[in-house]
Amino acid sequence: MTPKETIEKGLATLGIELGSTRIKAVLIDDNNKPIAQGNHTWENELVDGLWTYSTEAIWRGMQEAYANLKADVKAQYDTDLTEIKAAGVSAMMHGYMPFDKDGNLLAPFRTWRNTNTADAAAELSDLFVFNIPLRWSISHLYQAMLNGEEHVKDVAFLTTLAGYVHWMLTGEKVLGVGDASGMIPVDPATKTYNAQMMNLFDAIATRKGYTLKLREILPKSLPAGVEAGKLTPQGAKLLDPTGALKAGTIFCPPEGDAGTGMVATNAVRPRTGNVSAGTSSFSMIVLEKDLSQPYEAIDIVTTPDGAPVAMVHCNNCTSDLNDWMGIFKELRELFGEKVDMNELYVKLFNKALTEDADCGGLMCYNYISGEPITGLAEGRPMFIRSASNKFSLANFMRSMLYSAVAVLKIGNDVLFNKEKVQVDRITGHGGFFKTPGIGQRVLAAALNSPISVMETAGEGGAWGIALLAAYVVNNTEGLSLPDYLDQKVFAGSKGEEIAPTAEDVEGFAKFTETYLKALPAEQAAVDCTDL
């Protein structure tokens, strides 16, 4: 069928992802090819010291992204989008959305970016003998208990952003196992929350005077391929206020952006991995066996079908770099030039790799917010050089590129050097890889591993969650998720691989050595400035 026929027969599949800076809606056909899309740009807000997005912003953004998708359908195919076969919702991972028994949000959504949960995460990591990151839902809940926040006694349901949107659209309080594994650890054997850890948490909650039970307040954990509800009439009107969208669309389990990134890069099989690099960055390496011990820099989560994954998550990636690109844009505009931002990125990224592999001694920290892996509760973007360093545009730009993935390297050095984890393929996706070859080369140097970028990787997490929705309704052969992706989605897909050079690996290692030594300067910047 043509895309127009697919749309008019109600056979298209929809994926929506609520990312940190953009909400994206993608429509795909039965061959898993994108045929239309819509976007909405948004930004988090710092309210009372916590990063958040309001529920009003969530639904305004959802509706605008969907309206823009409808407009794209109309412009391309001269038809209206009224019926959708399957759909899925993905969102930035984990965080904290607590509701009372009447469905009222008890506290503003607390995003992955918040680092105020250090005490809770440390206590829970000791209690569970399992690394519990600051951004996980259980850390937020326990920190609220430690803070004595009034709302905790009324919590009747706790979910993530993806789980919340899915609930509003379908009425179902469920979550994909990948996102669920970032609420509290999941048992890979059962693909649901670890029973022993829930009992331990309930016990300490009781000692603190709380009556809530995790089994009663967490969404049901579901693996990929399971139907997770249908679009209700109320949900259809919420997504499309015009009333044109029909109810009844089948939904897959909602997932986090880490899970959809794995799907979009075909990295759900053991010994595969992917790196997502944009506003934040994270690597996901699907494990063959458990690690020998917990590590603070490594989170153990799961793929959307429940396989264990070692995740290294970094709060900061390209935001500081993008701010500097904005400065270069202003400079060119000052001389009356009309600036093409894509051209600006291409020229400066390529310039970055023309001089010293160790950045000539230049050093920078891209910490817009705190960075748990390096022990920073807050961040201050900072550039450092000495008079003896080679201060040039190329070295400056390379230092910016290196800093974007430096923390990612620090975390993955534990996996590859200490745990000797083996990986057959690592695929990159996200804005960091948009300029051909440059982000790949930098990451290859950081991880000392070949990095692939697939033709389809640029489609992103919205495409990934659309694939998971299609997996629910189109997997007539009963294939596993890795086999389904290999055979039905990525068969014949081309990718370009870049291997690290010895010079780049050595240069990045030298940069990292200085980076770690100079971290006290970054901490001092935090301590000495109140911004």
DSSP state of 486: I
The residues, ordered by sequence, that sit 6+ positions from 149 with a Cβ below 8 Å of its Cβ are: 107
The residues, ordered by sequence, that sit 6+ positions from 17 with a Cβ below 8 Å of its Cβ are: 23, 24, 89, 90, 91, 257, 260, 460, 461, 462, 464, 465
Q: What is the pLDDT confidence band of residue 429, given thresholds at 50, 70 and 90?
A: confident
Distance in angstroms (rounded) separating the CA atoms of residues 306 and 178: 7
* Dihedral sign computed on CA atoms, order 333, 337, 338, 340: negative
Q: Give the pLDDT confidence score for residue 291 in this predicted structure.
A: 94
Second-level CATH architecture of 3-253: 2-Layer Sandwich (3.30)
Q: What is the pLDDT confidence band of residue 456, given thresholds at 50, 70 and 90?
A: low
The tens digit of pLDDT for each residue in 94-143 reads 899 999 999 999 999 999 888 899 999 999 999 999 999 999 999 999 99
Residue 51: burial class (beta carbons within 10 Å; 0-12, 13-18, 19+): buried
Identify whether the C-beta of residue 284 lies closer than 8 Å to the C-beta of residue 367. no
The domains of the chain are located at 3-253, 319-409+514-528
- Say if residue 255's pLDDT is above 70: yes
Q: What is the DSSP string of 118-164?
A: HHHHHHHHHHHTS---TTSHHHHHHHHHHTT-GGGGG--EEE-HHHH
DSSP element (H, E) containing 458:
none
- Return the minimum-mean-pLDDT range out of 281-295, 391-405, 490-504: 490-504
Average pLDDT of the segment spanning 27-34:
95
Angle, vertex CA 191, rays to CA 188 and CA 197, nearest 5: 75
Distance in angstroms (rounded) separating the CA atoms of residues 463 and 265: 10
The tens digit of pLDDT for each residue in 483-514 reads 999 999 998 777 789 999 999 999 999 999 99
Alpha-carbon dihedral angle through residues 23, 435, 316, 178, given to the nearest 10 degrees: 50
The identity of residue 133, as a single letter, is: P
Q: What is the pLDDT confidence band of residue 528, given thresholds at 50, 70 and 90?
A: very high
- Say if residue 458's pLDDT is above 60: no
Average pLDDT of the segment spanning 430-448:
93
Q: What is the pLDDT confidence band of residue 531, given thresholds at 50, 70 and 90?
A: low
* Selection from 172, 265, 264 nearest residue 221 by Cα: 172
